Chain A
């Protein structure tokens, strides 16, 4: 079957290129903006997602995992006695000062447990043995710290809260939303580093359920026994930690606004180029009608053109975004483009381009085929 839509597009290559460029621009913008946003949000909850806890007990109204508040560490005993709890341990998450070899001070977000391996935290160890952590004044530092702290290696020393600790391992992919590098130390050592503030205190209790235990029943019982704490499932806590940044900073609004503007530009470019193309081909559309074509035939032509522009523009935009990802990673920015997100952008692009073609269709639908007799 002859495709007038395709042939007309290829007949006017410059306009076709402009249309694709417009779509590609919008798609790239959406991918980069939303991808960066997802990357940032993943940083906000990545430690929660990887920790093997079914429930998180937090201090009341803790807004997100980074901004922890303390409560008595002995409360863990009450949690351990709840039927259905297989294991419960204290987790300390706390900002501390780290002194660099240059003499400058930086912040580090310390994660402290008695038994890291029991909670799959950290989940990606590049160098060192986690079980060595309780055996001295040791710490693991995440690779991402290199950007802020400069190069470091196992065997070197750093002062944390004015105490000399030896780096005995490196982790990968442990990040916080605030970009403060994450370090891992033994729970008891962390309390000592925190002196008065953390003595006898914890910031979270991690809870693992016994096989077959009813999560809601266990949670209700913990809430009953710890009335001044909050209890979240892993998913709830991750969502709460992410939502905090969306709701309390401008990044959510910024992301939505940029995506909206990008989409608007794309739709306007497609609508305008299709419209000017349609206006130039009005007589051809009149001929299609005169030889018996219906409005449906006309819309099929416009729809095919907009879908082709959408798919090619999407492909170009996706390639640009994927090509930009490694460069962004070098700058410490994580661009997340999942297959589901890509598919959603493709569907959205096609739908918006089809919607843009409606502007032209309205013009052609009202076209009088008698115009073919006018010279």
Chain B
């Protein structure tokens, strides 16, 4: 089942009198349980494309459908609701809340998604257990290793069962061992929990877990 569909996505940015076309018609699909690696050199438009797929930016042209909901660029106010309902993010810098414990980081994202009380706490415990951090729930981010922080971030993305996970350079700040562990965690969870996963990366290790590799170059998908 297709969770993510983008067709001929174009994105232009205007800076002063200059207009830069970052994406020139990119199409991509992802199905439940599928892992797509999105590669490309710096400045190729990968992160811009990920932002559009994640409903953080809207395309200048083209069509994006997430979990059956078409993104309407003329109604940006609806984007947070799509993000809440259907998308989990994993960031290069982890972006955990430093004042919250691992469990609270996950639980807070569930609160934002509208799930509160004991049900949210139970779900947070479940996903932390799923990423192998059941014994680190009360730790603050500063007391976790880089790999553990990223696994908390993965747990946060998984919480609430969004069908689409988007990861931006998830192994860039990790050593190779921690990076491999994180990727294995990704692979296991994407398959076991039947989520579509798009990973933007420079890391060649990602190819080892990807079902498909897409390469962006100069704003276009290369073969």
| Inter-chain contacts of A370 with B (CB < 8 A) | 51, 56-57
Contact A4 B108 (CB under 8 A): yes
Closest to A12 in B: B99
A234 within 8 A of B: no
Given contacts A1-B117, A373-B168, contact A292 B54 (CB under 8 A): no
Contact surface of A with B, Cβ cutoff 8 Å: 1-2, 4, 7-8, 10-11, 283-284, 286-294, 297, 369-370, 372-373, 375
B83 touching A292, Cβ below 8 Å: yes
Q: Which of A1, A287, A369, A373 makes the CB contact (< 8 A) with B97?
A: A287
Q: At the interface, yes or no: B213 with Cβ under 8 Å from chain A?
A: no
- Assess whether A283 is in contact with B80, with CB atoms less than 8 Å apart: no
* Contact in complex: A297, B112 (CB < 8 Å): yes
Query: Whole-angstrom distance from the CB of B51 to the nearest CB of chain A?
Result: 5
Inter-chain CA distance A306–B37, complex, in Å, is 44
Nearest residue (CB) in B for A292 is B84
Please, which residue of chain B has its CB at the minimum distance from the CB of A8? B99
B95-A283 in contact (CB<8A): yes
User: Which residues in A have their C-beta under 8 angstroms from that of B57?
Assistant: 370
What are 18 inter-chain pairs, A to B, with CB distance below 8 A?
A1-B116, A4-B99, A7-B100, A8-B99, A10-B99, A11-B98, A283-B95, A284-B98, A291-B88, A291-B112, A292-B81, A292-B85, A292-B87, A292-B113, A293-B112, A294-B80, A373-B91, A373-B92
The A interface is mostly helix, strand or loop, or mixed, namely helix
A139 to chain B, nearest CB (A): 69
In angstroms, how far is the closest chain A Cβ from the Cβ of B182? Answer: 17
Q: A156 CA to B35 CA in the complex, in Å?
A: 102
Do B89 and A2 touch across chains, with their CB atoms under 8 A apart? no
Question: Which chain A residue lies CB-closest to B112?
Answer: A293
Q: Is the CB of B104 within 8 A of A2?
A: yes
User: Which A residue sits closest to B169, measured CB to CB?
Assistant: A375
Contacts of B210 in A (CB 8 A): none
Q: Is the CB of B113 within 8 A of A290?
A: no
- Whether A11 pairs with B50 at a CB distance below 8 angstroms is no
CB distance from A35 to the nearest CB of B (A): 38
Q: How far, in whole Å, are A192 and B221 apart by their CA atoms in the complex? A: 111
Partner of B108, one of A2, A283, A286: A2
Q: Distance (Å) between the CB of A9 and the closest chain B CB?
A: 8
Cβ contact within 8 Å between A2 and B111:
yes
Q: A289-B80, A373-B51 are in contact. List 15 more A-B contacts (CB 8 A).
A: A1-B117, A2-B111, A11-B99, A283-B93, A287-B91, A287-B97, A291-B89, A291-B109, A291-B113, A292-B84, A292-B87, A293-B112, A372-B91, A372-B95, A375-B92
How many angstroms between the C-alpha atoms of A4 and B106 in the bound complex?
12
Flag whether B156 is at the interface (Cβ < 8 A): yes
- Asked whether A4 lies within 8 Å of B80 as measured between CB atoms, the reply is no
Residues of chain B contacted by A290 (CB below 8 angstroms): 54, 56, 83, 89, 91, 95
